Amino acid sequence: MAARVLHARGAASAGGLLQRAAPCSLLPGLRGLASSSQRPREDSWLKSLFVRKVDPRKDAHSNLLAKRETSSLYKIQFHNVKPECLEAYNKICQEVLPKIHEDKHYPCTLVGTWNTWYGEQDQAVHLWRYEGGYPALTEVMNKLRENQEFLHFRKARSNMLLSRKNQLLLEFSFWNEPVPRPGPNIYELRSYQLRPGTMIEWGNYWARAIRFRQDGDEAVGGFFSQIGQLYMVHHLWAYKDLQTREDIRNAAWHKHGWEELVYYTVPLIQEMESRIMIPQKTSPLQ
C-alpha cells in the first residue's frame, strides 16, 4: 500500500513537473514568434543606419553639379596599345594631335595626353575639352571626317591598338579648371565607380573635401561621366614625384575634418582605380 502511495505521488509529482515544464517547452516557439515580429522593425532600423536620404530634386544631377559659367564638354580616351607599338603610337599622336589642338578651325582643346606608368600597362590616356558642349563635339567630328591627315592617322592607329574606350564628361563646379602647367610632373588619375543614385552626395562631400587638397596646387580637375560608363568620377592630380604624392596625401590626414569626409564618401564607392601617368612631350599638362 505504501508503495502504491509513493508511486502515485511520484506520478503526480512527475505530472506536475511536466505541466509546469510544458510552458517552458513552448518558449522557443514563442521566442521565434517574438523575434520574427520584431525582426522587420529591427531590419528597418538597421537599414536606416546605412541608407542615406537624399532630398527630391527637380533638376538633372548634371545641372546641379557642373559649372554653370561654362558649357564645356570633356572626352577622356583610354587606348590599350600593343606593347611593341607603343613608341610608334606615341610618335604619330605627337605629330597629329597638337595640330588639331592648335587649329582654330576646331572648337576643341587637348587638355592632356599621357602614358600610364603604374596601373594598366601600355596604355595611353587623352583628355579633350569641347568649348560649346555637344554641338562643338559634333562639329569637330564632322570636320575630322574631311581631314585626310587625321583619317590616315586613325587607320595607322587602329593597327596598333588592342582595345579602346571613351567617356563624355562634365566638370564639377567646385574643382579647378584644368589649365596647362609646366613640368616635370607625374599625374594621378583616380577613377571611382559610384553606387547609382549617389552622385549628389559625392558632390556635396567633395565640395568640402577639396579645400583640404589645395595647398600644394595638386588638384588639376574633377569630372563625372555623362555618356559611356555611368556614375564614374575622375579626379586628376599633379605631383612632382611619387614621394611628394605620398607626403601630400599623408598631410591631409592631419587636417581636422578630412577623416570625416573620407568616412562618409567610402560607402558611396563600388570600385576605384588609380593610374600614375607620365605626360607625353606635346601634352599641355607637363
Q: Where are the domains of the chain?
A: 72-279
130-163 in b/e burial notation, b at 16+ Cβ within 10 A? Answer: bebeeebbebbeebbeebeebeebeeebeebeee
Q: Is this prediction's pTM over 0.75? A: yes
How far from 210 is each of 115, 213, 216, CA to CA, in Å?
A: 26, 5, 12
Compute φ and ψ for 283, nearest 5 degrees: -75, 130
Neighbours of 85 (CB within 10 A): 17
pLDDT on residue 238: 98
What are the pLDDT digits (tens) for 154-183? 999 999 999 999 999 999 999 888 999 999
What are the pLDDT digits (tens) for 66-86? 766 556 899 999 999 999 999
Burial of 9 (0-12, 13-18, 19+ CB in 10 A): exposed
- Give the torsion through C-alpha atoms of 267, 268, 274, 280, to 10 deg: -160
pLDDT on residue 45: 40
pLDDT on residue 152: 97
d(CA 121, CA 117): 7
pLDDT on residue 62: 56
The residue to which cell 603604374 is assigned: 118
pLDDT on residue 68: 60
**Taking the chain, what is the end-to-end CA distance rounded to the nearest angstrom?**
111
d(CA 222, CA 233): 7
- Residue numbers of the chain with a pLDDT score lower than 70: 1-64, 67-71
Beta pairing partners, 163: 80
d(CA 274, CA 246): 13
Q: Which fold has domain 72-279?
A: Alpha-Beta Plaits (3.30.70)
DSSP 66: B
What's the CA angle centered on 226, arms 221 and 230, to 5 degrees? 100
